[in-house]
Amino acid sequence: MPKEQILIIEDDKHISKLVKYNAEKAGYDCTAVDDGEEALRILTKQGADLIILDIMLPKTDGFEVCRLIKQDPKLKNIPIIMLTAKGEEVDRIVGLELGADDYVVKPFSPRELVLRIKAILKRGKQEESSKDIIERGNLVINVPKHQVTVNNKEVELTPIEFKLLVTLIERNGRIQSRERLLSDVWDMNADVFTRTVDTHIKRLREKLGKMGDQIETVRGLGYRFKEEDED
């Protein structure tokens, strides 16, 4: 079985070597580049199973690289972990809004980073639902194809947004705490701000339009998707 491919985009050679060493030790095949333009050329040619992306890059910064990847139909489903010294909450939110799946701040634990890589790649292999097609009013989800339509118009969701939506719908009206969603959707519960959940819920609602109103905030408790028999 071929090894899963990880593309590391990091201009600090010490950090790049550290990440590459630990990821390869965990059984992954890694390619490391030090600028976004070269990374995009490689992705266009050969793709990747996961991207580790620094923000402070020469020429094209990591935010722009992330945006370009998520706008490309052939690349948009590749999960991205942002690895950066920019730890301010606004930077985390911008990265997540652009479609990044996770955000790790330097200095970091190589072991924790590998665990996050494993969790994201494992999540990508799992079937999110026992049903192939989920229908809720004008909302239709084709699980095998990772396709969502509202009023017969396709809605572009990131892999995390897709899993978040399916998780809420499958739990039919039951309140899900932010901590529970972090555990079940992101496959982790440590060092990921609960603001991550709020940011993704906000983006999901916006993308779903009127159907986004079905995702309710339950003050002090979390979120739920309205039950099928509710108005």
Between CA 146 and CA 220 the distance in angstroms is: 31
Query: Which token pair is 217?
Result: 């905030």
Q: What is the pLDDT of residue 127?
A: 45
Class at the top of the CATH hierarchy for domain 133-225: mainly alpha
The residue with greater pLDDT, 7 or 231, is 7
What residue type is 172 in one-letter code? N
Class of domain 5-125: alpha beta
Report which of residues 144 and 202 the model is more confident about.
202
Residues 229/129, Cβ–Cβ less than 8 Å: no
Rounded distance, CA 171 to CA 115, Å? 27
Give ranges for CATH 1.10.10.10 in the chain.
133-225
* Structure token digits, residue 77: 């489903």
Confirm whether pTM is higher than 0.75: no
Residue type present at position 99:
G
pLDDT of 91 reads 72
Mean pLDDT computed over 89-110: 82
Reported as a single tens digit per residue, the pLDDT across 159-200 is 889 989 999 998 878 888 888 888 888 766 545 556 788 889
Delimit the CATH 3.40.50.2300 region(s) of the chain.
Answer: 5-125
